[in-house]
Amino acid sequence: MKIRSPGSFGFSLFLLMLLGYFVLESSAYSPRARIVPWVVGIPTFVLHLIVTLAHRFPKLLHGFDIDVIALARRDRPSSASGESAPSDDGIGPRVELVKLLTIGAWMAASFIALYLVGFLPMLFGFVFLFLWFSGGISWWRSFIIGVVFTGAVWAVFHTMRLTLFEGSLRGAYVPPFF
């Protein structure tokens, strides 16, 4: 039987690998440290393995898949496994993927900008450019919204005496990750 939704199957595989990482990594820890990762991780892995395999063999999930809302209905309940495939919600999967990649790119760019130049320039730039290019709003309206938003943020943080990150290019300290 063909897998109906490759995107859903791919995401399930990713989750399975993530859960597998937690279970396998735990074997390197002391017995006390691995109790909860194993007690929780192994059943979770097994349950998700069933969810993942159900993409190829839907009947696998039939016995386990319970939708409690469906059970409350007066008519005969059906298994919820038929609802595991994602719905379009009015936009095609290709359009959705393009939009997801676009917003992901905006978020990545905003983080890089934040890292380099700090919050205030990043916020203004993001609001202005996003509304103008992605939102289709006129450049002057986008500019005004950007200025007002950034100004409000500055005012609130200045009043609360909270410091905003100023960017690595301006000498702000970036704590180590590793």
Partner 1 sequence: MFDPLLTAAGRLAELSNLLLVLLGTGFGLAIGILPGLSILTAMALALPFTFGMDPMSAMFLLAGVMGAAPFGGSTTAILFNIPGEPFNAATCFDGYPMASKGEAARALGISAMSSALGGVFGLLILLALIPAVRQIIFAFGPPEFFMLILFGLVTVAFAVPGNMVRGLVCAGLGVLLSLVGFSSTTGDLRFTLGSRNYLWDGLSLSPFFLGIFAIKEVVEYYAQGGSIAPTGEKIRAGLKGTLAGAIESFRYWREFILGSLVGVVVGILPGVDGTVSNFLSYTLAMRGSRHPERFGTGVPEAIVAVESSNNSKDGGDLLPTVAFGIPGSSTMAILMGAFILHGFNPGPLFLREHMDIVWGIILGRLLSSLLASTAGLLAAGLMARLTFLNVIYLVPTIFGLSLLGAYAERENIWDVLLAIVAGLFAYGLVRFKFPIVTLVIGFVLGQMAEQALLQSLQMSFGDYSIFFTRPIALILFFLMILTLFFPFFKRASKEAIP
Q: Which of 1, 69, 88, 171 binds partner 1 (CB under 8 A)?
A: 69
Q: Which of 20, 109, 121, 137 binds partner 1 (CB under 8 A)?
A: 137
Nearest residue to 15 (alpha-carbon basis) of 52, 66, 57: 52
Which positions from 104 through 133 interact with partner 1, judged by CB under 8 A? Answer: 104, 107-108, 110-111, 114-115, 119, 123, 126-127, 130-131
Sign of CA dihedral 107, 112, 115, 116: negative
Closer Cβ to partner 1, 1 or 174, answer by number: 174
How far is Cα 140 from Cα 174, in angstroms, rounded to an integer? 34
Which positions from 11 through 40 interact with partner 1, judged by CB under 8 A? Answer: 11-12, 14-15, 18-19, 21-22, 25-26, 29-30, 32-33, 35-37, 40
Sign of CA dihedral 77, 82, 84, 89: negative
Instruction: Determine, following the binding rule CB under 8 A, whether residue 165 of this chain makes contact with partner 1.
Output: yes
Q: How far is the CB of 33 from partner 1 (least distance, A)?
A: 4
